[in-house]
Amino acid sequence: MGLFIARRIGKGVVVLLAIVVLNFFLIRLAPGDPALVMAGEAGAADEVFVAQLREKFALDQPLPRQLASYVRNIVGLDLGYSVRQQMPVATLIGDRLPATLLLTGTAFLISLALGVLFGALAARRAGSLADTAITGVALLFYATPLFWVSLMAIIVFSVRLDWLPSFGFETVGAGYAGLARAADIAHHLVLPAMTLGLFFMAVYVRMTRASMLEVMGLDFVKTARAKGLAEGVIQRRHVLRNALLPVVTLAGLQAGTLVGGAVLTETVFAWPGIGRLMYEALLQRDYNLLLGVFVVSSGMVLVFNLVTDVVYRVVDPRIEAAR
């Protein structure tokens, strides 16, 4: 196991460096550069102004040199400086990370818990009215554009009913502390986390249901039934546990993207997360910041892939044995 993890980490570092180099060129393929964007925003610019900005952003340097200095910084665990925001990239990302993890993590747990629960219920009564209702509703949430569901949720729960706040991370200027602040943040979290969670839920419902139906037909389930085990025990210990593997795969993939944030949800609910930071950096061609977000989120994908592989071995010991 130790050797396995070490080998995977080694591979991960190589992949990460490849991602850095690729992204470095990729974002420079987009038309425009940060200097031109800032000059554009000023509504008045002359050549001196644009040249000054290019110098400030180190864009006047030859491309290979820009790449070399960027890679050198990354290797030294330095994500660089956002000239536009006048702050180190690591600070900017660090500021946004907790909000994003709170949102995507909560949504992840909601989707996983509800998805597996409803998927198992649907599988148990496959073909029944309950099954149709569960898969139908789940698909509806999946198929409806996320921003539309979010806006409708705002109109119903914020504008009409006035139960939940429509934007932000917490009540600005309220001066809450401790538990009161946590409650306030939770209050703000409900709408974005629910809409995002319901969106992801559909996949888990379908996956759990399909996988359980498959397992239910296998011989060991018949054996369990023949032994006279209670139906609940069979479903939980024999069917669900064996059906979970594809769900874990999926959850692992999704967990990796948690750090990348959820651009649409964060935008509609004005949630101060990484997704928005990345999207704005993209529009503003803030190269260092954009690359920084890419590096952090691809690093997370690699880490979660590794974690998934380890979890496999816990959920299903046969994988370790088969190696």
Partner 1 sequence: MIRHVVTGCALVLALSGAAAAQAPRAGGVANAVIQPEPPGLMLGLLQNGPTQMVAGNIYEGLLRYDDALKPLPGLAESWSVSPDGRTYTFTLAKGVTWHDGKPFGADDVLFSIEFLKQNHARARGNMAKVASVTAPDSGTVVFTLSEPFGPFLGVFEVGSLPMIPRHLYEGTDPKTNPANNSPVGTGPYMFKEWKKGSYIRLVRNPRYHVAGKPYLDEIYWHVIPDAAARAVAFETGKVDILPGGSVENFDVPRLSKLKGACVTGKGWEFFGPHSWLWLNNRKGPTASKAFRQAVSYAIDRDFARDVVWNGLGKPATGPISSATRYHNAALAGYAYDPAKAKALLKQAGYKGETVRLLPLPYGETWQRWGEAVRQNLEDVGIRTELVATDVAGWNQKTADWDYDIAFTYLYQYGDPALGVARNYISSQITKGSPWNNVEGYANPAVDAAFAEGAAAVGDDRRQAIYDGVQKTLIEDAPVAWLLELQFPTITRCTVRDLVTTGIGVNDGFRDAWIER
When the beta carbons of 30 and 182 are compared against partner 1, the nearer one is 30
Residue 47 engages partner 1 in binding (rule: CB under 8 A): yes
One character per residue 131-160, x = contact with partner 1 (rule: CB under 8 A): --------------------x--xx--xx-
One character per residue 95-134, x = contact with partner 1 (rule: CB under 8 A): xx--x-----------------------------------
Beta bridge partners of 82: 87
When the beta carbons of 99 and 207 are compared against partner 1, the nearer one is 99
Query: In the bound complex, what is the minimum distance in angstroms from residue 277's beta carbon to partner 1?
Result: 7
Query: In the bound complex, what is the minimum distance in angstroms from residue 99's beta carbon to partner 1?
Result: 8
Cα distances (Å, whole numbers) of residue 27 to 21, 41, 283: 10, 20, 11
Cα distances (Å, whole numbers) of residue 96 to 3, 93, 224, 275: 34, 5, 50, 9
Residue 38 engages partner 1 in binding (rule: CB under 8 A): yes
8 A C-beta contact, residue 89 and residue 278: no
Give the helix/strand (H/E) hosting 87.
strand 87-88
Q: Among 36, 58, 101, 248, which residue sits at the site for partner 1 (rule: CB under 8 A)? A: 36
Any residues with CB less than 8 A from the CB of 306 and at least 6 apart, and which?
5, 8, 9, 12
When the beta carbons of 127 and 173 are compared against partner 1, the nearer one is 173
Q: Among 61, 66, 73, 85, which residue sits at the site for partner 1 (rule: CB under 8 A)? A: 85
Q: Among 15, 17, 52, 313, which residue sits at the site for partner 1 (rule: CB under 8 A)? A: 52
Query: In the bound complex, what is the minimum distance in angstroms from residue 241's beta carbon to partner 1?
Result: 42
Q: How many distinct helices (H) and strands (E) make up the chain? A: 15, 2
The stretch among 165-173, 206-214, 226-234, 249-257 that binds partner 1 (CB under 8 A) is: 165-173
Beta bridge partners of 88: 81
Is the CA virtual torsion 223, 225, 229, 235 positive or negative?
positive
Give the number of C-alpha atoms closer than 13 A to the C-alpha of residue 98, restricted to the C-beta side.
5
Quote the DSSP letter at residue 235.
I
Residue 93 engages partner 1 in binding (rule: CB under 8 A): no
Beta bridge partners of 87: 82
In the complex, the residues that contact partner 1 under the rule CB under 8 A are 30-33, 36-50, 52, 56, 83-87, 92, 95-96, 99, 151, 154-155, 158-159, 162, 165-169, 172-173, 266-270, 272-273, 276-277, 280, 283-285
